[in-house]
């Protein structure tokens, strides 16, 4: 099985985190890479996970994320 790649356009790095938006709560949740690809989530490499910011007015929760290394 090959490693999952970052969802960001033009990035071919290996994904290490999964970003999910909870629209009802206006919250972005970033956590360790999910065990299975999720259709409404984004897999991100360390560099993009570290730089990700929520939409204006939303909260960002980082669950189980240690210091990321780009």
| Res 50: pLDDT | 94
> Between the CA of residue 8 and those of 19, 24, 47, what are the distances in Å?
11, 24, 11
Across the chain, which has 70 residues, the per-10-residue mean pLDDT values are 87 96 96 92 96 95 69
The pTM of the whole model exceeds 0.75: yes
Write down the pLDDT at residue 67: 54
Answer whether 18's CB lies under 8 Å from 32's CB.
Answer: yes
Q: What is the pLDDT of residue 2?
A: 61
CB 43 within 8 A of CB 4: yes
Per-residue confidence (pLDDT) for residue 28, from 0 to 100: 96
């Amino acid at each position: 099985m090959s490693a999952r790649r970052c969802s960001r356009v033009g990035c071919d790095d290996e994904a290490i985190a999964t970003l999910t938006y909870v629209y009802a709560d206006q919250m972005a949740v970033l956590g360790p890479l999910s065990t299975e690809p999720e259709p409404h989530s984004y897999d991100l490499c360390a560099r993009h996970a570290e730089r990700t910011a929520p939409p204006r007015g939303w909260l960002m929760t980082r669950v189980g994320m240690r210091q990321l290394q780009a």
